[in-house]
């Protein structure tokens, strides 16, 4: 029997990478990895921003200091401290310090305010809160005397010592340099809470255990990225996001590489910042690559040292132009959910694919499956025997992951039991089994490669057909002056299903309704947008995901700042939806 040497090599590397780096490495949790690297390479860079670098030895000392700080203030193992801060190196130090003492960090979106912020603090049962200088007033506006139950409120390094906030920088500096002595941190203990983006409602708190965090970095590195301790992993995106945590920081802690950050994403500064940081690996999510591709030429765009770009959400139409323009040797596209129990990685660079299961997960070890999905009901299609119906090659279905006893099959889910229950599907292929619902529609080709199609809820039905918002958007970007496009379905009185609508952004020129109409002819008739909203701006999350919820809520209502156009097949153009056309649609004199 022929031996697949590539698979054997990858499997061997994966097994070796998962072995303990030191006797206490897997028994001391994430924080123990810092000690391992501090002993092996004390003067090597561990964390970096544009102003300074922290070595592994310095990081280990700072982590102990944070652990002692919180321990002396009565925080106990298992309790949570929320970090409401921007992209600061101290934020990561604080997260690792809490981990070392067995406490849990909650990585809060730094842009949250008011009720959404109070919601996430309650969701993770935060015992303490750390804020930086830009968010002191945000914290003080919260109802700490009411239902939050948060009693420890501390200022960050750059937060002023006002309104009773302790000067955290001075408090930490006053502590002696001594190792933290505490209880054993186990792999099943919680490490951190990461929150969903909240694009369609309030964020949910995903539980990330020590085991999940360690496996994420070790597995990603050993089976796909193959990085070295001399690499520098760079992200300008929020370090509160799963990409920075489960791909960037986790891989850095696994390999001993340096993790580099900046204060925020800027398309014009991205590659100059990468060069200044010495970045060799870049992280991306969502529309970041499209923003970079749309930016004017920059002197550093091919002078950087990035050899690998890894992330998720790189669309097929952007992939090749992006890789060629910026001279990127390798793109590692992957699929994964913050709270999920499965991951797909495209190790071969197949354009448009989000990959396949890890090479060690073959045969019965592979818990990923595609099952048929009913777009109208939102439920999995079941056959006469009551079990889910597997998808055929190239058929679109929902991706589900088996929940079981193996480390890769664990599903830690959310802090909210109701949210947790909604993501578990029972009796899928046999009685008593359970699968994690990703909420995503994918297809798989005959070679076994998966392709992302759409989010469940984004796909809609019109004229009896299922419409993928992502596929429509990909087909229309770059036409009629459109540089960014968000597609969704809207309800129209008198019609079944939802009519297609595109919110477009034209940065360098005006919207050309005739050219846009011509571009839609390449789509099936049912997929051609009925309405177009021409926006001056499109709201995004901190990781460049477009916020569709408000756009869908507004439908095709009038808006002076973002006018709506309607498709006119007779004139072969998109025309302004004036009062006359609006009335004609409402009275049924014009059929859509």
Note the pLDDT tens digit of each residue in 522-539: 898 889 999 999 998 887
Average pLDDT over residues 159-172: 67
Measure the CA–CA gap between 320 and 3, rounded to whole angstroms.
Answer: 33
Both tokens assigned to 515: 């050219």
Note the pLDDT tens digit of each residue in 209-246: 998 898 888 888 888 889 999 999 999 989 999 999 99
CA atoms within 13 A on the CB side of 378: 9
What is the per-residue burial (b if ≥16 Cβ within 10 Å, else e) of 441-480?
bbbbeeeebbbbbbbebbbbebeeebbbbbbbbbbbbbbb
The pLDDT, as a whole number, for residue 405 is 84
| Range of weakest confidence among 127-141, 318-332, 511-525 | 127-141
CA atoms within 13 A on the CB side of 133: 9
The values of phi and psi at residue 48, to 5°, are -155, 140
Average pLDDT over residues 423-432: 95
Choose between 147 and 41: higher pLDDT: 41
Nearest to 108 by CA among 121, 99, 92: 121
State which CATH number among 3.30.830.10, 1.10.940.10, 3.30.499.10, 3.30.300.30 fits the domain covering 458-586.
3.30.300.30
Residue 375 near residue 461, CB atoms below 8 Å: yes
The band of 23, judged by pLDDT with boundaries at 50, 70 and 90, is: very low
Residue 29 has pLDDT above 90, yes or no: no
Kindly report the number of other CB atoms within 10 A of residue 572's CB atom: 12
Residue 514 near residue 573, CB atoms below 8 Å: yes
Residue 24 has pLDDT above 80, yes or no: no
Phi-psi region of 394 (alpha: psi -120 to 50; beta: other; left: phi over 0): left
Both tokens assigned to 554: 């507004």
Residue listed under structure tokens 């102990």: 64
Measure the CA–CA gap between 450 and 86, rounded to whole angstroms.
Answer: 35
Phi-psi region of 352 (alpha: psi -120 to 50; beta: other; left: phi over 0): left
The values of phi and psi at residue 267, to 5°, are -60, -35
Both tokens assigned to 299: 């002197």
What is the per-residue burial (b if ≥16 Cβ within 10 Å, else e) of 581-592?
bbeebeeeeeee
| Per-domain boundaries in the chain | 20-209, 458-586
For residue 416, the Cα-to-chain-centroid distance in whole angstroms is 20
Note the pLDDT tens digit of each residue in 98-107: 999 999 999 9
The predicted model scores a pTM of 0.82
Average pLDDT over residues 53-57: 98
Residue 506 near residue 477, CB atoms below 8 Å: no
Nearest to 344 by CA among 425, 422, 352: 352
Percent of the chain whose predicted confidence (pLDDT) is above 70: 90
Return the SS3 of 166: coil
State which CATH number among 3.40.50.300, 2.60.40.1120, 3.40.50.980, 3.40.50.1460 fits the domain covering 20-209.
3.40.50.980
The values of phi and psi at residue 507, to 5°, are -80, -35
Both tokens assigned to 396: 């679109």
Residue listed under structure tokens 């990468």: 274
Both tokens assigned to 545: 């995901």
Residues of the chain by 3-state class (helix, strand, coil), percent to 5: 30, 25, 45
β-sheet bridge partners, residue 573: 568
């Amino acid at each position: 029997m022929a031996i697949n040497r590539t698979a054997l090599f990858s499997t061997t590397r994966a097994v070796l990478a998962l072995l303990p780096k030191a006797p206490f490495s897997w028994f001391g949790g994430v924080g123990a990895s810092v000690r391992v690297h501090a002993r092996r390479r004390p003067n090597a860079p561990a964390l970096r921003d544009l102003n300074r670098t922290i070595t592994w030895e310095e990081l280990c000392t700072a982590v102990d200091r944070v652990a002692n700080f919180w321990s002396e203030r009565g925080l106990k193992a298992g309790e949570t401290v929320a970090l409401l801060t921007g992209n600061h190196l101290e934020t990561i130090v604080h997260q690792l310090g809490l981990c070392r003492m067995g406490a849990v960090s909650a990585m809060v979106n730094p842009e949250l305010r008011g009720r959404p912020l109070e919601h996430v603090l309650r969701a993770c049962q935060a015992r303490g809160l750390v804020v930086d200088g830009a968010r002191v007033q945000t914290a003080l506006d919260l109802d700490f005397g009411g239902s939050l139950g948060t009693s420890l409120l501390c200022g960050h390094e750059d937060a002023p010592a006002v309104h009773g906030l302790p000067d955290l920088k001075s408090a930490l500096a006053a502590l002696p340099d001594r190792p933290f002595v505490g209880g054993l941190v186990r792999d099943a203990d919680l490490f951190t809470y990461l929150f969903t983006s909240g694009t369609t409602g309030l964020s949910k708190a995903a539980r990330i255990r020590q085991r999940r965090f360690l496996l994420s970095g070790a597995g990603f590195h050993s089976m796909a990225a193959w990085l070295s301790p001399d690499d520098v992993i760079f992200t300008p995106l929020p370090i509160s996001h799963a990409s920075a945590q489960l791909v960037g920081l986790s891989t850095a802690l696994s390999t001993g590489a340096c993790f580099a950050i900046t204060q925020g994403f800027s398309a014009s500064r991205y590659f100059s910042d990468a060069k200044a940081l010495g970045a060799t690996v870049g992280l991306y999510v969502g529309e970041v690559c499209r923003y970079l591709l749309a930016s004017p030429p920059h002197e550093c765009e091919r002078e950087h040292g990035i050899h690998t770009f890894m992330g998720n959400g790189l669309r097929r139409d952007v992939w090749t132009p992006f890789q060629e323009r910026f001279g990127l040797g390798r793109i590692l596209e992957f699929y994964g959910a913050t709270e999920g129990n499965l991951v797909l990685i495209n190790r071969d660079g197949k354009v448009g694919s989000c990959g396949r299961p890890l090479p060690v997960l073959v045969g019965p070890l592979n818990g990923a499956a595609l099952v048929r999905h009913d777009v109208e009901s939102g439920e999995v299609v079941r056959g006469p025997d009551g079990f889910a119906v597997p998808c055929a090659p190239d058929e679109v279905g929902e991706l589900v992951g088996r929940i079981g006893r193996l480390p890769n099959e664990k599903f830690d889910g959310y802090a909210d039991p109701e949210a947790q229950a909604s993501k578990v599907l029972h009796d899928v292929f046999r009685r008593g089994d359970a699968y994690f619902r990703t909420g995503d529609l994918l297809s798989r080709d005959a070679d076994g490669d998966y392709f992302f199609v759409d989010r469940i809820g984004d796909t809609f039905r019109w004229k009896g057909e299922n419409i993928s918002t992502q596929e429509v958007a990909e087909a229309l970007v770059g036409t009629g002056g459109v540089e960014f496009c968000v597609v969704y379905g809207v309800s129209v009185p008198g019609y079944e299903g939802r009519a297609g609508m595109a919110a477009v952004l034209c940065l360098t020129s005006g919207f050309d309704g005739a050219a846009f109409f011509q571009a839609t002819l390449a789509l099936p008739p049912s997929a051609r947008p009925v309405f177009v909203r021409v926006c001056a701006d499109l709201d995004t999350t901190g990781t460049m995901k477009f916020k569709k919820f408000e756009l869908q809520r507004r439908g095709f209502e009038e808006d002076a700042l973002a006018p709506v156009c309607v498709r006119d097949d007779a004139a072969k153009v998109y025309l302004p939806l004036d009062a006359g056309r609006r009335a004609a649609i409402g009275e049924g004199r014009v059929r859509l």
